[in-house]
Structure 1
């Protein structure tokens, strides 16, 4: 079983985008790679499926692959049942010709995470609990 758990929107102006979505009624909490300090991303708190606004610099930190995520480039994240299953999915998609832009790795936020491109080039993140 998989579930869409997060939509990442890489944005050119973090505060402008936060203000736009706030008008729609979205509330956010700040995220920073050091845990505190100025917002590098805004995480929705009331949308059901989490929406995260990422600055390009923040997106480049968690996704060091090339080409780098750019403003206007969304990414849909799926959560899968295990790290082993995540690795199996990435391997199967790779044999089907999908581009793996970030091989699965343990991330500092406590999940295993990888990124593949769908057939049209959309970024698809895959998450599971860390091993």
Structure 2
């Protein structure tokens, strides 16, 4: 079983985008790579499915492979049952000819994470909590 758990919006101006969505009634929590400092992403609160505004610099950190994320390029994240399932799915879609943008990796945000492209080029993140 998979569940849509997050949609990532890569934005050119993080604060401008946050202000826009706040005007729509969305509340956010900041996300940082390490510790404090300026937010590098904003995570929606109580929106049903989480969506995250990512600066291009922050997106390039968690997705360092080409093609790089660009403003206006959405990414949907699917959560799967286990880290092993992330690896299995990536192997299966690669064997079927899909492009693997980011091979599975254990990330500092305590998830096994990979990115594949769907047939139209949309980025699909696959993640599972590390146990």
TM-score (norm 2): 0.98
Structure 1 residue 35 displacement after superposition: 2.6
Q: How many residues align?
A: 131
Aligned-residue offset at 1:46: 1.6
CA distance in 2, matches of 1:35, 1:45: 20
Q: Determine if the alignment matches structure 1 residue 28 to structure 2 residue 28.
A: yes
Structure 2: 5+ residue runs without aligned partners? none
**What aligned pairs does 1:43-122 form with structure 2 within 5 A after superposition?**
43-122=43-122
Post-superposition shift, 1:129? 1.5
**C-alpha deviation, 1:67, in angstroms:** 1.5
Partner of 1:4: 4
- Any stretches of 5+ residues in structure 1 without a counterpart? none
Aligned mates of 1:17, 1:98 — CA distance in 2: 31
Q: 1:94-122 deviations in whole A, cap 9, x for unaligned?
A: 01100000000000010000000000000
Spell out structure 1 runs of 4+ moving beyond 6 A. none
Deviations 1:74-112 (A, max 9, x none): 000000001111111110000110000000000001000
